[in-house]
Amino acid sequence: MLFRFDDPQVEKSYVESERKARIPATRFLAAIGIITLISYIGFNPMHFPRDGVLQYNLAAGPFVLLLAGVFGITFTRFYVVQGWIDIVIFSLMLGVMVLLIDALGAQAEITGISQFGMAIINLGILMVFASVGFVATTRYFLAWAAVLLVLYIVFLLQADRTIVNKVYTFTNFTTFFTFASFANWDIDRRARRTFAANLALEEEQAKTEEMLFNVLPRDVANRLRQGEAVADAFSDVSVVFVDIVGFSKLAKKLSPGHLVKMLNTIFQFADDCAAQHGVEKVKTIGDAYLAVSGGNASADRDAIAAIAFSKQLISQIAEYAKSSGIDVNVRIGIHTGPVVGGVIGNQRLAYDYWGDTMNIASRIEGAADPGGIAVSESTFYSACEVTAFSEPELVALKGVGELKIYRVIG
């Protein structure tokens, strides 16, 4: 019956968000109360005797100040965070309301409304006001309302009235009590459902965004969501092309399930190495893995990072081959040069790269030794200060022609 989120942090977030959302309504009710009291302060002198006016003003004045204080406190962070302040606010209101009832009850001959009637009317108004004013704190409201109900019962028991009058008066008051309690409970119930739905929606949106960022670089994904056509030019990108040696023979030896499991393991190694060295995975092509260093998602990386990635990947695959008993190895080719990157189409989106640099890297991979790394001359000059290379070799590459390559030592 009394709703509460299991997670204390979620409960806290709900209370704060709901209190923020209901601040305009709280201010409106406080303003209406201030206007009503001030209007009576101006109206009463025309009908009440001097003592009656003074007694009413001594009760209404503090009430106006209290409502003004409520209006002002809603501008503070304290009001949003400390829900218990509602008990203090409405307990003070109850005190000044009793003074107001006494002042109006003393003028029963003029108003035609007895103190009993004034009590029902004003306490009923306060109860309804509290049902809206207790924001996201139904437990506090019910505790406060229960105390008010007990006080009202005590007031009835000591009153000099007939039992019939007391019963009807009590019934009228409990009608206000029941309505206000249900209103506060139902408002909180609906607000919690809305908050939970929004929370679930935000979680699903976060999952969707996480999946999107796994497919596309964050900056690219944001540009696409803004309707921008994504096309970039990079002047100095190191393209890494990884290919499994003798994959066709492995495919004949291993069962389909075992083959896919092996591929998944190797590509997971590559993903982990890429994340560690800041290299950007582009895609897998069959048994090949394509990555870049210095592209859209790795702009501050260079050929040195590409070589470090390649070395670690070869080392991990060698350990995997030893532990699994599968004779698996890779060749890696790296070339540094200009590329064009972008996203094409509107289904199965992926950020891809194009240009001769991509083709040359794939051809250099074919010239690498099993378990080795071959690089172009441009990559060599980018990394030769920190990496050991063999003497250059002039190699004829299909579709490229003769090209000077270097092999990474170690």
The CATH number given to whatever domain includes residue 311 is 3.30.70.1230
Identify whether residues 176 and 272 lie together within a single domain. Answer: no
Q: How confident is the model at residue 299 (pLDDT cuts 50, 70, 90)?
A: low
In the structure encoding, which two tokens stand for residue 95, read together? Answer: 């005190």
209, with CB counted inside 10 A (0-12, 13-18, 19+), is middle
Identify whether residues 341 and 385 lie together within a single domain. Answer: yes
* Residues 403 and 364 sit within 8 Å (Cβ to Cβ): yes
Mean pLDDT of the chain: 89
Least confident of 24-28, 44-48, 72-76, 223-227: 223-227
**Which residues, including other chains, have CB under 8 Å from residue 63's CB and lie 6 or more apart?**
33, 37, 93, 96, 97, 100
Beta bridge partners of 341: 232, 353
Dihedral of CA 256/257/259/260: which sign? positive
Beta bridge partners of 407: 374
In a domain, 216, yes or no: no
- Looking at the structure of the chain, the number of domains it has is 2
**Coil, strand, or helix at residue 1?**
coil
In a domain, 215, yes or no: no
For residue range 101-132, what is the model confidence (pLDDT) as tens digits?
888 888 888 888 888 888 888 888 889 889 98
Closest by CA position to 380, among listed 356, 363, 405: 405
What confidence score (pLDDT) does residue 298 get?
A: 67
Identify whether residues 172 and 285 lie together within a single domain. Answer: no
Identify whether residues 348 and 388 lie together within a single domain. Answer: yes
Q: How far apart are CA 171 and CA 87, in angstroms?
A: 25
Neighbour-count burial for 251-276, b at 16+ CB within 10 Å, e otherwise: eeebeeeebeebbebbbebbeebbee
142, with CB counted inside 10 A (0-12, 13-18, 19+), is middle
Identify whether residues 371 and 240 lie together within a single domain. Answer: yes
> Between these two residues, 94 and 217, which has the higher pLDDT value?
94
Give the DSSP H/E element, type plus range, for residue 377.
helix 377-383
Closest by CA position to 335, among listed 313, 365, 370: 365
Q: Using the 3D structure, point to which of 154, 174, 207 is the last residue of a domain.
A: 207
For residue range 141-185, what is the model confidence (pLDDT) as tens digits?
999 999 999 998 888 888 778 888 888 888 888 888 999 999 999
Cβ count within 10 A of residue 149: 17
Tell me which residue range forms the domain holding 162.
8-207
Q: How far apart are CA 26 and CA 137, in angstroms?
A: 14
Helix axes 50-73, 23-43, angle to 10 degrees: 160
Identify whether residues 203 and 161 lie together within a single domain. Answer: yes
In a domain, 314, yes or no: yes
For residue range 351-379, what is the model confidence (pLDDT) as tens digits?
889 999 999 999 999 999 999 999 999 99
Single-letter amino acid code for the residue at 62: P
Q: How far apart are CA 192 and CA 128, in angstroms?
A: 21
